[in-house]
Amino acid sequence: MDFIKHHIALIEKEIVSIPFPQQPSNLYDPCRYIFKLGGKRIRPVLTLLAHELYNSNFQKAVPAALTVETFHNFSLIHDDIMDNAPLRRGMPTVHTKWNTTIGILSGDVMLVHCYKLLADHYSGDELSRLLKVFNRTAAQVCDGQQMDMDFETRKDVSIDEYIEMISLKTSVLLGCALEMGAITAAAPIEDAAHLYEFGKNVGIAFQLQDDYLDTFGDSSKTGKQPGGDILAGKKTALVIECIEAASESDKVLLDEILHGQSSDKIEHVMTLFNKYTIAEKTRKLVEEYSHEAIQHLDKIKVDQQRKQSLISLTDFLLNRQH
């Protein structure tokens, strides 16, 4: 990602400058810690890139970019508690390194700091516009997380519901990151809306592809042994599509295999996936959402040349492992 290395470097520099107080250290050390665990910083970079469509000096977009990254890290802390996850990026999660109570509270204060970043750096109509998209998105991310948890105990989740869930849980934040960048550049309202839809659809395509690659990916490119999701019995897009397409007896069979401990688990599930052309169906969905994303990007009224970074980033996200 050479073309955005300066953006990433700036975000890394700014993240450590977020003025979290020193005390109480049990509250603010976890906030600094989760940021130090790293990450691709895709979301804040999207904010800067959206701003750059209209204004080459993206300094004004930085607090909005940090807001999005702070929100993302808040959600990681709380999600890790909810998912009982011991590790995050190979390091102990906050609630493991400290405790659950500290995890809850430091997440809370990070969410408050998102709003501090906005209110301390923006005002007037700009602040109102930023808050509206950010508030809506933040609530949607909670909705998506709850839907994800509700789906764990449901057997009748449709692929449309699944896409709605991943859209809320992860994709709207990409849209929000871009729209906030546009707002800080005083972009036209329609452009900001198209950027939001572009980001949301890229996010959905990315998530679906993530499910696809875990099972059908080339391990020499993904660096992972295929079938991890199948071994874990995860209810991925592939599983949900298979349930939608399968005969009653194959549905029962898929459920049995996924929840069983057979040594041929991956092979058996793959047989069913192949019978119902799940790889093709999923690739088609990824293409549809990618196409939808690019259509929104096309409608934005700035020179095509200026869109190159966003196009390259989309290519990177959606094609790197094909």
Q: Shortest Cβ distance from residue 17 to a second copy (Å)?
A: 17
The count of C-alpha atoms lying within 13 angstroms of the C-alpha of 319, restricted to the half-sphere facing its C-beta, is: 9
Please say which residue, 93 or 145, places its beta carbon nearer to a second copy: 145
Please say which residue, 182 or 286, places its beta carbon nearer to a second copy: 182
Binding site for a second copy (CB under 8 A): 21, 23-24, 26-27, 78, 81-82, 100-102, 104-105, 107-109, 111-113, 115-116, 118-120, 123-125, 127-128, 131-132, 135, 138-139, 142-143, 145-147, 149-150
Q: Shortest Cβ distance from residue 100 to a second copy (Å)?
A: 8
Please say which residue, 175 or 227, places its beta carbon nearer to a second copy: 175
Q: Shortest Cβ distance from residue 272 to a second copy (Å)?
A: 30
Q: Shortest Cβ distance from residue 76 to a second copy (Å)?
A: 13
Please say which residue, 138 or 204, places its beta carbon nearer to a second copy: 138
Return the DSSP state at 91: E
- Helices 100-121 + 62-82 axis angle, to 10: 160
Triad 212, 214, 217: Cα angle to 5°: 75
How far from the centroid of its chain's Cα atoms is residue 135's Cα? 17
CB 80 within 8 A of CB 192: no
Q: Shortest Cβ distance from residue 184 to a second copy (Å)?
A: 16
- Buried b / exposed e along 118-145 (16+ C-beta atoms within 10 A): beebbeeebeebbbebbeebbebbeebb
Cβ neighbours, 10 Å, residue 312: 15
Q: What DSSP letter does each residue of 190-201 carry, written as one string?
A: HHHHHHHHHHHH
Alpha helices in the chain (DSSP H): 5-15, 25-36, 42-52, 62-82, 94-97, 100-121, 124-151, 159-166, 172-184, 189-216, 219-222, 228-231, 237-245, 248-259, 265-275, 278-298, 308-319
Please say which residue, 99 or 271, places its beta carbon nearer to a second copy: 99
Please say which residue, 149 or 232, places its beta carbon nearer to a second copy: 149
Q: Shortest Cβ distance from residue 150 to a second copy (Å)?
A: 6
Phi-psi sector, 46: left (phi>0), alpha (psi -120 to 50), beta: alpha
Q: Shortest Cβ distance from residue 130 to a second copy (Å)?
A: 9
Please say which residue, 91 or 105, places its beta carbon nearer to a second copy: 105
